[in-house]
Amino acid sequence: MNYLSQHTKKFWLGQVILSILSFYRLEQDGLINKIVEIIVKICITFLFVIAILGIIKLIFELITNPSQFNNATFGVFDYL
């Protein structure tokens, strides 16, 4: 594991993955703290998966159907 962490210092994606994995290794004492920790970790994982799937869907649609983005407006541009 030490070799892996030394090797990934050059790669920012490796650092992100290792920090996410180290987040799941943290443990709290007490039953209430463990329950809250599990709920927070589930919520964070769920939001992370939704964000990744949305980005993948956007890239997929950009490749397969680029004409869909001709008149696309995002957020603030709808009201200007």
Question: Which pLDDT value is given to residue 4?
Answer: 54
Number of domains making up the chain: 1
- Is 78 inside any structural domain? no
Q: Is the pLDDT of residue 5 over 80?
A: no
Residue 80 lies in a domain: no
**pLDDT top residue among 3 and 69:** 69
- Asked if the structure places residue 74 within a domain, the reply is no
Q: How confident is the model at residue 19 (pLDDT cuts 50, 70, 90)?
A: confident
Average pLDDT, the chain: 76
Whether 6 shows a pLDDT value over 80: the answer reads no
Average pLDDT of the residues in 37-48: 87
Q: Yes or no: say if 33 and 41 are a contact pair by the CB < 8 Å rule.
A: no
